[in-house]
């Protein structure tokens, strides 16, 4: 067996190591057109910010280590220019010498990765404007920071990498402006779940410009001037472009391999391309989403590593199917953490998939034990069988644990009712007797059984005088503010004052986070009222009303 691998990132390097473990006699050649192989791409923003101080810590392996440990022939700065499929050869060029030669293969794995999207903006090629995709890019940025000592930076794009860059440039002591074309940061999440992240950015001195688009860069003295579509202008000493990536499919296209509807290399469930002797993995391929089945591009290291193992297993006849992708991801932004798995509400609406949702605000661990912090969880699920579609979590501690549990539940085909049965590790330092994931299952299950008719933050504003909005918090709590026009009857007094509420109008209950509102809704429902509870309570609603002051007494 002669195995040729194109690309030395997460997928390519893993494929080479896996192939050697399955076949000691195979000839394995890995071509990488860049300067490094198998490095920690996800650590690059933290290397720029000085959090990771030792550059070598990012190098997971080297050509020498691959040769000594795995007997893999790694050829850096060598680009595969052409695949001659009928001859089963690749044509390569040594970038430093210009030497061109051909290499035969029995099986070929394409792991060419992706490249940063560079928007067609006038002046985008000015000195001091960077993209970040590899260690060479990071070295260039670190050198610029050390030599020029920039004091102001603009980050264009508020995805996961963009937010990490914002934090790390702030760590370097810079004033940072974040420009995002959408009305919220983290496009993979739904807008209402990102408000706490935006608030955290502002608390840390970041100038956040949403619904804005850069239309021109120009040099003004020693500074770069970014002109926005709205007419606003920002000055900076450096700019980071982080507006997404595109799959590197040029080699596949020139070889006549099939390209999918999303622009990635099309593969089957065994990760074979349209040529059965050529496999493809990582950022360059499109794969079915595990929940919706639609083809998606998800440039994440974790899936690339798993795909590499599966592709090699199939090359050696093990017939392992790739099940699809969830897109589980997490990011820390200063002192707040945001995570997502499955599909978001925007996607479900776009695809016309019926769904239910709920919000809740559990704590990371038992509140009587010091250090408990609050999370916000959004759970999306089927109204028919409770099958979990996706989740988003924002908080400080314990976010990673809960998103991983829910991602596992989705892959296992579990329902929200199944979440209530999970037996999760509990001690007061780590969780509560009813873990946050259990609680999400209880809240969702109550919606499906009809025990908790629910309304949401974006619906309550439309009520006007068509319903009674009932605040069931204490009078002391309402002194700090309540929803305009809401009637206040504390939960503990509700039964005594229930006759004061009209039965010819629906009642919408709310409290701070949803629990007392739910209890009030149960009381009212048992007494013949038409009632709904505000999911996530006033805490969820108040985040979405930045221009409307809660009525204070």
Q: Closest Cα partner for 6 from 96, 130, 99, 103?
A: 103
Q: Which residues, 6 or more positions from 95, have their beta carbon under 8 angstroms from its beta carbon?
A: 33, 77, 78, 79
Cβ atoms of 128 and 217 within 8 Å: the answer is: no
Q: Which residues, 6 or more positions from 259, have their beta carbon under 8 angstroms from its beta carbon?
A: 249, 252, 253, 265, 266
DSSP of 22-76: H-TT-EEEEEESSS-SSB-GGGHHHHHTTSS--GGGGBS--HHHIIIII--EEEE
511 is catalytic: no
Cβ atoms of 301 and 133 within 8 Å: the answer is: no
3-state class (DSSP) for residue 452: coil
DSSP of 143-165: HHHHHH---EEEEE--SHHHHHH
Say how far apart CA 530 and CA 219 lie, in whole Å.
63
Q: Which of 42, 172, 358, 511 is catalytic?
A: 42
Say how far apart CA 154 and CA 238 lie, in whole Å.
7
Say how far apart CA 87 and CA 93 lie, in whole Å.
18
Q: Which residues, 6 or more positions from 225, have their beta carbon under 8 angstroms from its beta carbon?
A: 217, 218, 219, 233, 234, 235
* Paired tokens of 454: 């629910």
Say how far apart CA 220 and CA 238 lie, in whole Å.
12
User: Helix, strand, coil proportions of the chain in percent (round to 5)?
Assistant: 30, 25, 40
Catalytic residues: 42
């Amino acid at each position: 067996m002669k195995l040729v691998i194109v690309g030395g990132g997460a997928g390519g390097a893993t494929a080479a190591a896996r192939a050697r473990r399955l076949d000691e006699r195979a000839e394995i050649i890995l071509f990488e057109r860049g300067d490094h192989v198998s490095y920690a791409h996800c650590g690059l923003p933290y290397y720029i910010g000085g959090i990771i101080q030792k550059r070598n810590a990012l190098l997971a392996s080297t050509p020498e280590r691959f040769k000594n440990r795995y007997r893999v022939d790694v050829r850096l700065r060598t680009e595969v220019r052409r695949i001659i499929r009928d001859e089963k050869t690749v044509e390569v060029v040594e970038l430093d010498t210009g030497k061109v030669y051909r290499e035969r293969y029995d099986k070929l794995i394409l792991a060419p990765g992706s490249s940063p999207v560079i928007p067609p903006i006038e002046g985008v090629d000015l000195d001091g404007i960077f993209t970040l995709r590899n260690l060479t890019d990071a070295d260039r940025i670190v050198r610029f920071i050390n030599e020029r000592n920039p004091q102001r930076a603009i980050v264009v794009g508020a995805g996961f990498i963009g937010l990490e860059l914002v934090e790390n440039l702030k760590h370097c002591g810079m004033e940072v402006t974040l420009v995002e074309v959408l009305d919220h940061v983290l496009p993979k999440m739904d807008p209402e779940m990102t408000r706490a992240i935006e608030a955290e950015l502002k608390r840390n001195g970041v100038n956040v410009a949403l619904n804005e688009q850069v239309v021109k860069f120009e040099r003004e003295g020693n500074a770069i001037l970014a002109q926005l579509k709205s007419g606003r202008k920002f000055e900076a000493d450096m700019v980071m472009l982080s507006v997404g990536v595109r799959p590197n499919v040029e080699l596949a296209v020139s070889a006549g391999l099939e390209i999918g509807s999303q622009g990635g290399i099309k593969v089957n469930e065994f990760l074979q391309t349209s040529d059965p002797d050529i496999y493809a993995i990582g950022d360059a391929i499109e794969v079915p989403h595990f929940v919706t089945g639609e083809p998606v591009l998800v440039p994440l290291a974790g899936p690339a590593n798993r795909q590499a193992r599966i592709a090699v297993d199939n090359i050696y006849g093990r017939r392992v199917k790739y099940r699809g992708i969830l897109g589980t991801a997490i990011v820390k932004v200063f002192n707040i953490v945001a995570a997502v798995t499955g599909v978001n509400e925007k996607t479900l609406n776009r695809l016309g998939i019926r769904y239910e949702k709920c919000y809740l605000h559990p704590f990371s661990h038992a509140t009587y034990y010091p250090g408990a912090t609050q999370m916000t969880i959004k759970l999306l699920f089927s109204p028919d069988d409770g099958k979990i579609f996706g989740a988003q979590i924002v908080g400080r501690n314990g976010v990673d644990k809960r998103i991983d549990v829910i991602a596992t539940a989705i892959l296992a085909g579990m329902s929200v009712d199944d979440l209530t049965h999970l037996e999760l590790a509990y001690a007061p330092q780590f969780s509560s007797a009813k873990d946050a994931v259990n609680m999400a299952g209880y809240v969702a299950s109550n919606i499906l059984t009809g025990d908790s008719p629910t309304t949401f933050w974006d619906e309550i504003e439309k009520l006007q005088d068509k319903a009674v909005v009932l605040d069931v918090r204490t009078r002391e709590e309402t002194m700090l503010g309540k929803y305009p026009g809401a009637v206040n009857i504390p939960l503990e007094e509700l039964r005594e004052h229930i006759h004061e509420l009209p039965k010819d109008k629906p009642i919408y209950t709310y409290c701070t986070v949803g629990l007392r509102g739910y209890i009030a809704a149960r009381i009212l429902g048992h007494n013949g009222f038409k009632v709904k509870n505000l999911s996530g309570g006033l805490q969820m609603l108040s985040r979405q009303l930045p221009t409307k002051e809660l009525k204070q007494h």
